[in-house]
Amino acid sequence: MSIVMTGGGTGGHLAIVRAVKEALVKIRSSQSEERDISIVYIGSTRGQDRAWFGEDKAFAARYFLGSEGVVNKRGIGKLRALLSLWRAFREARAILKKHHAKVLFSVGGYSAAPAALAALSMGIPIVIHEQNAAVGSLNKLLRPFAKAFLSSYESQSPLKHYPVKSDFFESARVRNRVETILFLGGSQGAKAINDIALALAPTLQARGIKILHQAGERHLDAVQEAYRAMGIEAECFGFTDRMPELMASADLAVARAGASTLWELVANGLPTFFIPYPYAASDHQYHNAAFLVEKGLAWMKREADVKPEDIIAALDLPLETRSRELMQLASNKGAEEIAAFLIRTIDS
């Protein structure tokens, strides 16, 4: 019998699959007699799914189906996407039957559609994890039929802790004043955050505040040259695997509000000024950040409205209470709780 995991397309979805998969492996191997439960992954040939899990031997089997998004397609494109979904749905049914699937864990995205719909058609329990405060299209469709709907934003969710790597908890600390600021635009960069960082740089230098800046691979050379032209020292980078270390060294962050980044910042206790990506599906980054802003634990401005003075004002605001309360929102047991829930679903 097996636990089947599905969904992906983007790193935010796939990070949840990886975290829960690792927790399942840990729980299974820690039992006195290793249970005969295999873990299977079903993703898409599109997106980042194969790059993340194509060689991951922790899965008993990995499948990448020819699925694609349907929601934003029109005309012939929509018909082609529906035909692709139908073929992938039939493949997914065969996979679920072959591996004697007992529960399907779905993180959403178009990668999840074939397996989730196949599980629904076969009466296999579905457990959904929604990463964002604004529910995705597929998750919204399947929610009424799911055995459980897990969300860190909803009070009625049976589990609320977001799966975050332990590194961010281990380096967490309470911030008191801003000595180092971290600008996070993601590995691809964000022009709005790059622009605001460069506009703030003279003020930050005058205050003796160290600058850490994820400018993105595409923009890295131009941003570094801009700092050099101003005679300002800043640690710039594009992609990095040092994020827990970089967050730990910062006292304030300026960032987008993708779910994984937001909850890593929460786990680390790092107060943040959010500038949500304005074109995110269902404006989910705005709603993610609003979840913290409404609790008085973060600041946010729309990209079109943010000014350097907004962030300068945040430099002088008290941080200690915010930092402590952020850490109380997260738990380093999030992935383990979901993994245990999936195993209980099999046993029920």
> What structural domains does the chain harbor?
2-164+332-347 (3.40.50.2000), 167-329 (3.40.50.2000)
- Residue 4 has what pLDDT? 98
- Residue 73 has what pLDDT? 57
- Residue 61 has what pLDDT? 97
Q: Which long-range contacts (CB under 8 A, 24 or more apart) does 237-242 make?
A: 237/213, 238/187, 238/189, 238/214, 239/187, 240/187, 240/214
| 67 and 44 Cβ atoms separated by less than 8 Å | yes
pLDDT tens figures, 151-193? 999 999 999 999 998 999 999 999 999 999 999 987 667 899 9
- Residue 72 has what pLDDT? 57
- Residue 85 has what pLDDT? 82
| 289 and 297 Cβ atoms separated by less than 8 Å | no
Q: Phi/psi at 332 (nearest 5 deg)?
A: -80, 10
Cα 54 off chain centre by? 20
State whether the Cα torsion 117-146-342-52 is positive or negative. Answer: positive
| 196 and 171 Cβ atoms separated by less than 8 Å | no
pLDDT tens figures, 215-253? 998 999 999 999 999 999 999 999 888 999 999 999 999
Cβ neighbours of residue 108 under 8 Å, at least 6 residues apart? 7, 13, 128, 129, 130, 131, 136, 138, 139
pLDDT tens figures, 54-108? 999 999 999 999 876 655 555 566 666 667 788 999 999 999 999 999 999 999 9
pLDDT of residue 52 exceeding 90, the answer is yes
34 three-state secondary structure = coil
Query: Cβ of 297: how many Cβ atoms within 10 Å?
Result: 19
